Structure 1
Amino acid sequence: MRRIWQASPEVQVARADLDATQARARAAAQPLNNPSLSLDAENADVNRRTAGLSLPLDLSGKRRARASQGEADLLAAEATYNLVRRDVAARWLKAWSTAALAARQSELGQRRLALMQRFDDLAAQRLKVGDISSPERDLAGLALGEAQVQQATLASNEAAARAALLAISGDQGATLPSLPKGLSPAADSVTPLPVDELPELRQSRAQQASAEAGVQVARRARIPDAHRSA
């Protein structure tokens, strides 16, 4: 499944968004209040040269608020990334089973077509020696034609299923795995994921935390910084 995720355009976009959010979160945690240096000169009766250093002090917690918002945004991006991976995996599994089943049906159809072709050849030979009548020979030809039409339909279904699978994975060189021979595990043997760990719930909570942190950032931004000068 990792190979499918690596080849999926949707997962790649979500991964890029996650990396960008991580970078923004690191930047938000950095101090933005840089010290400033001022130089002044006055030429008069008494020449004066003065230098001043000013350092803004973040007493209102602006940096802490920005860091909290960055962390919340990062959690939301991680939840979105996991949600995209889960959805891609679910869609791929469904498309894979459909494509594998279509391939198996097409294979069986080829066998049936070969048998119908052999039956048609035998009917033609028996007609020559007088073992069957012309209507019976025509029935064999009709059966062969019906098998050919059905095989064309199966081949079309297989091509459509493979195209749908390719649209999800984006990997043209992937070999289609075969269907398992055994039955799928029973439903009672599968442990459900706890509700608190569902990607949708974690995403919603992270987005709520991000919105609340954004409110705190806006409130802190209205408070002027204190300055320490020397």
Structure 2
Amino acid sequence: MNILRVYTLGLVLLLCAPLASANEQDWARWLQGRLAELPASGAIQARLDADLADSRALAEPLYNPELNIGYENSAETTRTVGLSQTLDWSGKGRVGGRVGEVAADLARVRGEKAAAGLTADALRALIDFDAARARLAAAREQEQRLRRLTELVRRRERSGDLGRVDASLAYLSLARVQRALAEAESAATAATVVLRERLAVTAPGRPLPDAERWRPLAGEPDAGARLPYSYDLRLAERQLSLAERASDLARKEKNTDPTLGLRAGREGGESLWGLDFSLPLPLFNTGAPEYQAALAGTERRRALLEKTRNDLLARLEGALTDYRQRRQRWRQWRHLADAPLADSGDLLERVWRQGELTTQDYLRALDERLQTRQAGVELRQAMQRAWVHWLYESAGLSGWLRGLADAPAPAGEPAVTEASVTEASVTKQGTTP
């Protein structure tokens, strides 16, 4: 009989797998659409456009030509028109263009980090909203069971089948659960407020993917391999490159650039032309302090890059370890408690009705059952938040969402076997329509 039940459950999971994948696709695409429509996303794009425009300005030519018009009224009237141009002989413009390229790259990485932060905040809000609704559902179910119990207790008390002490315990338990219910309702309201702030919705448009989907879509994550993709490391690398280009520009700016002018006109009845040449003499302002400051800034950025690399590797390894530990604890809870919780409430009530369980033991069992459900919700929530934290630190959020949105079935999906079916009694979540 047990073997038949296992194979039946395995068949059900196989048949439900395409539907689950479709729901995950819908959720990921809905979230991507909502994020794209947020005013915050528009602000990030506008900031990126402004930064890119500033970077293009660095590549503009340094000097514009100057138009000179002269008029002199003396013994003979002199009228001249001239054009002068400062020449970038030292190559400041070329270096400025390279500074602009690095600045544009830096702006793009900043935009990616800002967008990833927006996505991470939205995911945390969805996770917290789902957990708050699950806690509220558990508290409401507990209240309903206790109300049903008190009605039965009241009838049995009137018939003399139950003592006054047992009846008092039932009434007190129902009164006590009101506090848990009030806290759950308040937490659900707060989670709704945060969700409105993050995604401008009062409820998710799609249910969250099953808790089993909060994991890598293919292969196992590796902290060292993801380090080069970290936003903070890429920013530190670009900032070092920008400091190096800035020091090159400061070195070029120590050199002065000449100005060449050409003028033509008439003096009295005669035509005239002239050539002007000027060159600033760097006698007082040599630009050496600025160049030394730029060199020191470059060395500072180089040292900060090494520190950032070490710090980020530690953070990545810590985030990955934390996720794996929390996932392990949640899976252990599910293996131990998920199946017993499914029918324990009705079983406890039936045993109590049959007189095989005292009212005090029944109330204690109901309380333990509620605490176990709440523990499962907290473990699942912590696991999901740890996964989002790892993805943000490793710059993998957008890739994970794209994988859910584009792939009907994640690569490396384990086959449904007798052992996996026995373990995988999945707790569904995200029941909000």
Q: How does 1:125-164 map to 2 (within 5 A)?
A: 125-164=155-194
- Tell me: CA distance 1:176–1:162, structure 2 relative to 1, closer, same or farther (3 Å): farther
Matched, 1:183 2:212: yes
**Structure 1 letter corresponding to 2:188:** E
Task: Output the CA distance in 1 between the equivalents of 2:131 and 2:98.
Answer: 50
Structure 2 counterpart of 1:40 = 70
Task: Output the CA distance in 1 between the equivalents of 2:148 and 2:118.
Answer: 44
Residue 204 of structure 1: how far off its partner (Å): 0.8
Q: Deviations over 1:90-129 (max 9, x none)?
A: 3433342232122112112212211211211222222223
Task: Output the CA distance in 2 between the equivalents of 1:194 and 1:70.
Answer: 28
Task: Output the CA distance in 1 between the equivalents of 2:253 and 2:37.
Answer: 41
Structure 1 counterpart of 2:302 = none
The root-mean-square deviation of aligned C-alpha atoms, in Å, is 2.8
Q: How does 1:83-122 map to 2 (within 5 A)?
A: 83-122=113-152
Gap regions ≥5 residues in structure 2:
1-30, 263-433
Structure 2 counterpart of 1:199 = 231
**Structure 1 letter corresponding to 2:122:** W
SS at match of 2:84: strand
Residue 165 of structure 1: how far off its partner (Å): 4.2
Which piece of structure 1 moves more, 79-88 or 22-31? 79-88
Structure 1 counterpart of 2:423 = none
Task: Output the CA distance in 2 between the equivalents of 1:161 and 1:60.
Answer: 60
SS at match of 2:212: coil
Task: Output the CA distance in 1 between the equivalents of 2:114 and 2:183.
Answer: 34
Residue 150 of structure 1: how far off its partner (Å): 2.0
Task: Output the CA distance in 2 between the equivalents of 1:130 and 1:43.
Answer: 127
Residue 136 of structure 1: how far off its partner (Å): 2.4
Residue 29 of structure 1: how far off its partner (Å): 1.9
Q: How does 1:27-66 map to 2 (within 5 A)?
A: 27-66=57-96
Task: Output the CA distance in 1 between the equivalents of 2:180 and 2:242.
Answer: 56
SS at match of 2:138: helix
Residue 207 of structure 1: how far off its partner (Å): 0.8
- Tell me: CA distance 1:71–1:121, structure 2 relative to 1, closer, same or farther (3 Å): same
**Structure 2 letter corresponding to 1:4:** L
Name the count of aligned residue pairs: 228
1:100 and 1:176 in contact (8 A); partners too: no
- Tell me: CA distance 1:149–1:20, structure 2 relative to 1, closer, same or farther (3 Å): same
Structure 2 counterpart of 1:7 = 38
Matched, 1:123 2:153: yes
Residue 174 of structure 1: how far off its partner (Å): 4.8
Task: Output the CA distance in 2 between the equivalents of 1:199 and 1:223.
Answer: 37
2:196 and 2:202 in contact (8 A); partners too: no
Residue 84 of structure 1: how far off its partner (Å): 2.5
What TM-score do the two structures reach when normalised by structure 2? Answer: 0.47
Q: Deviations over 1:32-61 (max 9, x none)?
A: 412122223334444433222212221211
Residue 22 of structure 1: how far off its partner (Å): 0.7
